[in-house]
Amino acid sequence: MLCAQQIAVLHYNGGGDWYSNPTALPNLVRFCNKQLKTNLSIEVAEVTPGSPDIFDYPYVHATGHGNILFNESEIENLHTYLVSGGFLHIDDNYGMKDYAKREIARLFPEKKLISIGTDHPIFKDSFPFPNGLPKIHEHDNKSPKAEGVFVEGRLVLLLTYEADLGDGWEDAEVHNDPQPVREQALQMGANIIHYAFLN
């Protein structure tokens, strides 16, 4: 019997709360399985940046409110994972962005984070987002941002901030977001999962 594919949450060092939004990824998986007819396991794995196990997961998610820090061996392992077909989505839960950008620069010193245009498949495939990343939670009265690193034309690392997608994936009673807002968050997440698995 074939086992369902898993996605993973990144257990990183640095002091940030990597474990925040515990209901988010299981809910996103349920949504993808229903709407996209995927066969993903509801059990979300936990993986560290330096583990060889990371190569088992086509999509790895990192979130939190604070510092994220990789050591040199983790940088090497994560870089290899990303250039060999992996996908890392860092979703700032508010307060993580600047730390994440510092570590992304260490992961890809030869590249720059670039803004992802609305013509990219993550905004078109499965569910259309003609205006780009949806705004789920307000923090600083700034527009939501999606930036990424591309390797040979493939988006390998996605950084989302001023959006709080993961909060929109959580159980409804956690943040009391209106259903249309949660639906937008889940649809955007499904687009990202779809891209990560097919590219």
Helices (H), 69-132: 72-83, 97-107
Q: How many CB atoms lie within 10 A of CB 168?
A: 28
- Domain assignment present for residue 41? The answer is yes
- Domain count along the chain: 1
- Domain assignment present for residue 2? The answer is no
Q: Which helix (H) or strand (E) holds 154?
A: strand 154-161
- Domain assignment present for residue 13? The answer is yes
Range of the domain at 62: 8-198
- Domain assignment present for residue 83? The answer is yes
pLDDT tens, position by position, 141-172: 789 999 999 999 999 999 999 999 999 999 88
Given a cut of 80, whether residue 177 has pLDDT beyond it is: no
Burial class of 153 by CB neighbour count within 10 A (0 to 12, 13 to 18, 19+): exposed
Chain-centroid distance, C-alpha 127: 17
- Categorize the per-residue pLDDT at 2 as very low, low, confident or very high, splitting at 50, 70 and 90: very low
CATH of the domain at 66: 3.40.50.12140
d(CA 17, CA 6) in angstroms, rounded, equals: 22
- Domain assignment present for residue 116? The answer is yes
- Domain assignment present for residue 1? The answer is no
Q: What average pLDDT does this structure show over 16-35?
A: 95
- Domain assignment present for residue 33? The answer is yes
pTM of the model: 0.95
pLDDT tens, position by position, 84-119: 999 999 999 989 999 999 999 999 999 999 999 999
Residues 6+ apart with CB under 8 A from 57: 6, 7, 8, 45, 47, 86
3-state secondary structure of 173: helix
- Domain assignment present for residue 3? The answer is no
